[in-house]
Structure 1
């Protein structure tokens, strides 16, 4: 099966899954072998693309699916996505 070059991730889904798991950003970063700052960028939507190995580690650390974490593909008829909320 063809693997994408990068995954476009959904910031809200990452944050929701992490919070639902009762995990801090630091703990998720540790499990996914990334920095806490990187997790913050993903959750704020300032970083939206991930390499497959990094994406797989994040997905596994959250115990979720590719579909849950990837962004839906916008269409021309789709309303604009609102900016992410600040914490």
Structure 2
């Protein structure tokens, strides 16, 4: 049996580009995802590059709550997959 995935490597530039293109303030995305604004900022500028699966799922849900349904692959770093 394969162990569950520990973290995902995300593409912070993609997170920022999508957020900004839709006019979503950082604080609003963070609030709807249940994470801090500073965490979103650190992801976007590349200080943080990895997320736990549950937090990553909340980020996707945060975008969706703003009418931006995304595939996980759109936010993952090159070569990263969301399969376990």
Q: So what's the TM-score if we normalise by structure 1?
A: 0.77
Between the aligned partners of 1:64 and 1:73, the Cα distance in structure 2 is 18
Count of residue pairs the alignment pairs up = 74
Residue by residue over 1:4-50, the C-alpha shift from the partner in whole angstroms, topping out at 9 and shown as x without a partner, is 21110001110011112210000000011011000100000100000
Residue 65 of structure 1 corresponds to: 71
In structure 1, runs of 5+ residues without a counterpart are: 75-87
Residue by residue over 1:32-80, the C-alpha shift from the partner in whole angstroms, topping out at 9 and shown as x without a partner, is 1011000100000100000101100101222211100000039xxxxxx
Residue 10 (1) aligns with residue 16 (2): no
Tell me the C-alpha RMSD between the 2 structures.
1.9
In structure 2, runs of 5+ residues without a counterpart are: 64-68
Q: So what's the TM-score if we normalise by structure 2?
A: 0.79
Q: Deviation above 3 Å: which 4+ runs of structure 1?
A: none
Instruction: Point out the structure with max Rg over C-alpha.
Output: 1
